[in-house]
Amino acid sequence: FHRLFWTFKLCCDAFDYCKPLIQVDGTHLYGKYRGTLLIATTQDGNNNVLPLAFAVLEGET
């Protein structure tokens, strides 16, 4: 496959109560499965980190 994206409904519903900020970060995957893992996160009113979405890509671009 070239790319995979997923999220959870509860995370999307909770986003309504979070700060209007989305942070995206990524890391390279090593070992049997290679590629790049991206994650989008946000913060709630208590500064807790909430994951919004995940993606696995073949490369960084």
Q: What 3-state class would DSSP assign to 34? A: coil
Note the pLDDT tens digit of each residue in 4-46. Answer: 999 999 999 999 999 999 999 999 999 888 899 999 999 999 9
For the entire predicted model, the pTM comes to: 0.82
